[in-house]
Structures are given as C-alpha cells and as structure tokens.
Amino acid sequence: MARLFILGALCSVLASCNFDNMFLFPEKIPSTTERLNIVNHQSGQNLVVEIGEQFQPTLKTEDGDLFDPGYEIESRVFKNEIGNQLNGWFMHPNSGYNGTTVVFFHGNASSIFTHYRQAEPLVENGFRVFIFDYSGYGFSEGAATRKNVLKDGHAAMDFIFEQADLKNDNLVLYGQSLGGHLVASIAADYEDQIEAAVVEGAFSSSKDIAASVAGFIGRLLVADQYSGKEAIQDYHKPLLIVHSIEDETIPFELGEKLYNYANQPKSLLKTHGCHMCGIHYYTEEIVEQIHSMVNSG
C-alpha cells in the first residue's frame, strides 16, 4: 500500500512538474491555533495541547488535568538563512540526563506534534533531544521545499551551536526517512562538532527513491538537489544506519546503499517491522550503539 501511495504521488507530481510534492507531506498549523488534540502513543490516551507564547505546548488530559509525559518540553523559535521562522522543541529528561544532546531530523509527513513520539525513546533513556519542524511544517513559516529543508537543517545546527548551555554536551545527529537523508547530506559539514550520526529508514538519494518507484523515468525526471550517498563519503565520524528489511516505504536496499557509500567507522542495524519503527522496537540496541559511538572518541 505504501509503495502504491508513493507511485500515485509520483504520477501526480510528474503531471504537475512539482517534484517536491513527492517527498514532502507537511501538516501546516495556523499560527493563531490555541489548542490541538493528540494521542499519547504509549497509553493511547487522548491529550489536549494548549499553545502559549512562542508556541509553548502544555499537555493536558481531556478532563483538563496537567499531563506529565516524563520530560519537559521547551518550545524555541529560530530563523533559517532566508528568514523563515522555524519552531523546535527541546525535550529535556526529568532526571538522569546522560550528557548527550540529539538533534532530531524528522520524516516527511505531519509535524512535531506527530514526530515528537519518535524521539521519546531517546529522552526516556537520558538524552536531551532537539526536534524541529521544517519550513511549511507545523508552526514553521515558509514553503515546504527540498531546498528549504536543506536550509532548515543547517539553521537548526547553527541554532544549537548558539546555545551556551550545550557547549560541553556531546552532540549526535539522528534522522528518520527524509530527515535521515538530510543527516547523511549535512553530517560532514559538522564533523568536527559532533560525535556521531544515526540514519534510520532513509533513502540514498532523491533519484534512487524515485527510481525504486518509477524506474528509469523517475530517475530521469527527479533531480538530486543534494545527495546523501554522495555527501556521506566526506563524513568520517561514527555512523549507525538503521533500516527494516521489511520497510514498505523506503526499500532496505537504499539504506544499504547509504551504508556501502559511507566510511568506517560504521554499523548497519537490520531491523524488522514498519518504516521508522526501529527506534521503538530496537531501542536498547540503538541506545547502546549511540553510547558506544559517543565514547569511542
């Protein structure tokens, strides 16, 4: 079903010549929004999110009681190089912070209000996480384009380096799907400032994922504005690639191709299950490998 959905999207894109539509499915939230409804993935409990100044979220139960997710959320805003104001969250563990901040690059659909759940296993294991929305996602301004996604990735890193309280932290990049390709594309630019990178469920290049759906026509018509498999060759710090051999959204072969292009030290964690589910079902293995990569320096 996922591949049929992508194929349908590609056919629509080819007809309109707007190739960004194949890769980006943002959930834009009006800046005037005061309340949102979400579901806590662990309990299945419906939650109400009240939005305050600078998009600060307060989680409450349907009965109006404060809900404690086990960590603190701190909303922050920053700008990319063309002036789009972007929204991100610091997710601070309530206790047991392990000294490593993870910059989390989420996948191609929805917004922080869905993807924060993907970062929760890291926070629960003592990592501080910074997750942010790309241009045109959530409360972030601007248009959702692949070029802007690249600008937004660099802007997030610039923002992190400006934070005085992170100066002594270990930094790890973690990207899923679209965000995984972005991490592969920019990690080399920050090699001297980070300890490691994790790429989960990512494609090796825009042309490769287009070709996996539509063959040579997709490869011919979709441009590689930036390429993870090319850029990763300039990265030499520890790298973990996580990919399900049963992934129906991004074929395992594309994650394996990224691994083959990458330099040592590198590891490939082959998982089972759905797209981007490794962080939930293989949490212990991923956390252990992150600690090992951080400590290897």
Q: Rounded mean pLDDT of 116-124?
A: 97
Instruction: Let me know: does 253 contact 201? Beta carbons within 8 Å.
Output: no
pLDDT for residue 19:
56
Taking the alpha carbons of 163, 169, 171, 172 in that order, is the dihedral positive or negative? negative
Task: Indicate the SS3 state at residue 196.
Answer: strand
pLDDT, tens digit (0-9, with 9 covering 90-100), for 179-204: 999 999 999 999 999 999 999 999 99
pLDDT, tens digit (0-9, with 9 covering 90-100), for 247-289: 999 999 999 999 999 999 999 999 999 999 999 999 999 999 9
Taking the alpha carbons of 43, 110, 220, 217 in that order, is the dihedral positive or negative? positive
Structure tokens at 30: 């009006």
Structure tokens at 34: 């005061």
**Band of the pLDDT at 98, cuts 50, 70, 90?**
very high
Closest CA to 147 of 230, 23, 249: 23
**Band of the pLDDT at 218, cuts 50, 70, 90?**
low
**Band of the pLDDT at 297, cuts 50, 70, 90?**
low
Task: Indicate the SS3 state at residue 15.
Answer: helix
Write down all domains in the chain, each with its CATH number in brackets: 31-68 (no CATH), 71-205+222-295 (3.40.50.1820)
pLDDT for residue 259:
98
Q: What is the mean pLDDT of the chain?
A: 91
- Which 8-state DSSP code applies to residue 189? G
pLDDT, tens digit (0-9, with 9 covering 90-100), for 5-43: 455 554 554 443 455 666 799 999 999 999 999 988 777
Query: How much of the chain exceeds pLDDT 70, in percent?
Result: 90
pTM, whole model, 2 decimals? 0.92
Q: 């005061």: which residue's tokens? A: 34
Instruction: Let me know: does 239 contact 231? Beta carbons within 8 Å.
Output: no
Cis bond before residue 265 (omega within 30° of 0): yes
Report how far residue 220's alpha carbon sits from residue 218's, in angstroms, rounded to the nearest whole number. 5
Q: Rounded mean pLDDT of 50-66?
A: 96
